[in-house]
Amino acid sequence: MVTQRVAEDAAIEAAVEQLEAGGTSQVINFTDDMKSVIDGVVTLESTTGKTRVYDRETGVASDILNSRLKDTLKRRYPRDHPMAGRTVFLLKPLVDAPQGNVLCLLHPEHPQRAYLDSIGLRNKFCYSAHIASEYDLDGHMRHRHSKEWAIMERAKQESKDEEGRQLLRQQTELLSRMSGQPSATPAIYQCSECPRFFDSPQGLKLHQTKEHKDASKDS
């Protein structure tokens, strides 16, 4: 298996070098699966500096920088994946998928790029730029970028919690003005395991028992 993978990686590098020289990649005596990765009439786009590749499972296209093409074509599914060991991206699609113009959230040109950098995803990129719809984008993020998606969801929840705290302060201040009594900062009970907060110790305890049962056992 290791020998086969080394040979396939060498074939990918040779094919890309042929493409860089302006030729057509030709692979002989390789499996049909391997030919689907690098065989066919494909040229590197010198004007854009990118080459289009296709996701093996979904057929969704991504425009990859030519300098990253070898590494992209050699990327393989992990051991726990049903297609473990097989290459993720192809130069010719195996699946006839509708091609849209929705960018992956991790695309360098996505409008939210600056925000994602600010929450710790500065060096996380995906060049998928032809996702069919926003619905397909959601699935793409959940399955292709599950760790990054979790970071985004956590940042979104933290933002909502902060908005809730701010609203509570504003409401308390307003009620204080209406009653003519000096305002007092309401008690806020912050969870030590996550960004959630509560207005009573009972609510906090119930939350920790339900959501952080293992953490409470360790302590």
- The answer to whether 191 touches 197, Cβ cutoff 8 Å, is yes
**Four-CA torsion 90, 51, 102, 153, nearest 10 degrees:** 70
Task: Give me the DSSP letters along 51-115.
Answer: EEEEETTT--EEEEEGGGHHHHHT-B--TTSTTTTSBSEESS-SS------BPPTT-TT-TTHHH
- Which of 9-23, 110-124, 158-172, 192-206 has maximum average pLDDT? 110-124
* Of 43, 146, 61, 140, nearest in space to 97 by CA: 61
Q: Answer whether residue 9 shows pLDDT above 50.
A: yes
What phi, psi does 122 have (nearest 5°)?
Answer: -60, -40
Tell me: the pLDDT tens digits for 58-105? 788 888 887 888 888 888 888 888 878 888 888 777 777 677 888 989
Q: Answer whether residue 192 shows pLDDT above 50.
A: yes
Q: Residue 24's pLDDT band (boundaries 50, 70, 90)?
A: very low
Q: Answer whether residue 47 shows pLDDT above 50.
A: no
Position with higher pLDDT, 218 vs 139: 139
- The answer to whether 159 touches 172, Cβ cutoff 8 Å, is no
Question: Is residue 92 classed exposed, middle or buried when 0-12, 13-18 and 19+ CB atoms within 10 A define those classes?
Answer: middle
Report in angstroms the alpha-carbon separations of 187 from 117, 172, 194, 197. 33, 11, 18, 10
